[in-house]
Amino acid sequence: RAVHAARAAFESGPWPKMKPADRQRVLFKLGDLVLEHADELARLETLDNGKPIFESRQVDIPMVANCFHYFAGWATKLAGETLPVNPAYFNYPLREPLGVVAAIIPWNFPMIMVGWKAAPALAAGNCVIVKPAELTPLTAIRLGELALAAGVPPGVLNILPGKGSIAGEALVRHPGVDKVSFTGSTEIGRHIMKAGADTMKKLTLELGGKSPNIVFADADLDVAVKGVAAGIFYGKGEVCAAGSRLLVEASIADEFVAKLAERAQKLKPGDPLDPKTRLGALVSEKQMNTVLGYVETGTKEGAKLVAGGKRAPINGKGWFVEPTVLDQVDNAMRVAQEEIFGPVLSVIRFTDVDDAVKQANDSPFGLAAGVWTRDVKKAHAVARRLQAGTVWINMYNFYDAGMPFGGYKASGFGRDLGPECLRDYTQVKSVWVSIE
């Protein structure tokens, strides 16, 4: 029924035929409504996901609004061009919407992902079905209500809660869906590629990561410690681009790890609804057990536990895990090669620039990376050599609606955000007119 509603809205409804300036006004209004309801949405997000209310209210909700405001502007700027192919013909390409887009989103950033995917798809004139994660559907449902209030016509933005194995699978296989935009695990991404092949689905896949955060001896170590900690402990480590591998130059490794462990030990899990809390609860008991299982695996493989590593319930309740640092990790260990998706950092030593780049790229993933150094030449040179879709220099985990985000290798293909992603929500038609 959701696909039928979206297909009918696309083929006979007002949205694709609407003046771009009118679509722009509707999407901008939706961004305004997100800000007007920020406190409500942030509370829903924290109740659903367990992240601190500070993150939900001060980071996630403004980012969602920014997405709708930014891509609203693009509704009036998706232009074609005339091409000098032959003087006997007038030639021009039309950039048109794809049709019905299914956005299948994860539980770690439930509302941000709606903004990342729905905003550009709608700006391009598509109709969208959002399939939120079964663990965290509340803010997507509320956003659907706000979209109607903003003037989005019925059927244009559909919210379809359900299990990925049922609702998600049905969308991937449905012949009435023209494109799937998915954020989640590499394993499910591979399955979507296979399942969507029969109906020739267009795909954007933003998948797993095991991102290296590289600290050179010439970095500002105090600043780097703060950045590395934020890179793995922000969002409880349930972040696709989390800097979960710390590659630190051997000459400063002991000093740096000691400072990092001290910082980790001071970061205590707390009530996610307390504005002062900076480390919330993992999304589920299952995820908590997975994370703790990796800590046990790492120590058995030879890693040294220097901070955290245990469950940290509050009044005996909650799926809280201490900020964890594993030192003396070899890059071949499971904790260095597999995505843990929790507040667990693996520390790996390197000897020089070439060794750092080699170990950083020795991963099936290529989503993001960080570089910490005072040497500008080194920073840019290393950034070019890293196999990653995003490289942060002397910073980590920053995003903007205007900057594309996506992965190399097993971290997927296609891009969210930025002008680049609009290509993935449109198709080009070449028109020839004989004038001689």
Residues recognised as catalytic: 206, 240
Beta strand 245-249 with 212-215 is parallel
Environment class of 178 (CB within 10 Å of its CB; exposed 0-12, middle 13-18, buried 19+):
buried
Q: Taking each helix axis from N to C terminus, what angle separates 38-49 and 20-36, rounded to the nearest 10 degrees?
A: 70
What CA dihedral angle connects 252, 255, 256 and 259, to 10 degrees?
Answer: -170
Q: Are 245 and 213 in contact (CB under 8 A)?
A: yes
Residue 27, C-beta contacts closer than 8 angstroms, at least 6 positions apart? 68, 69, 71, 72, 75, 119, 122, 123, 150
- Round to whole Å and give the CA distance between 188 and 87: 50
- Round to whole Å and give the CA distance between 289 and 308: 15
Q: Are 105 and 49 in contact (CB under 8 A)?
A: no
Q: Are 416 and 116 in contact (CB under 8 A)?
A: yes
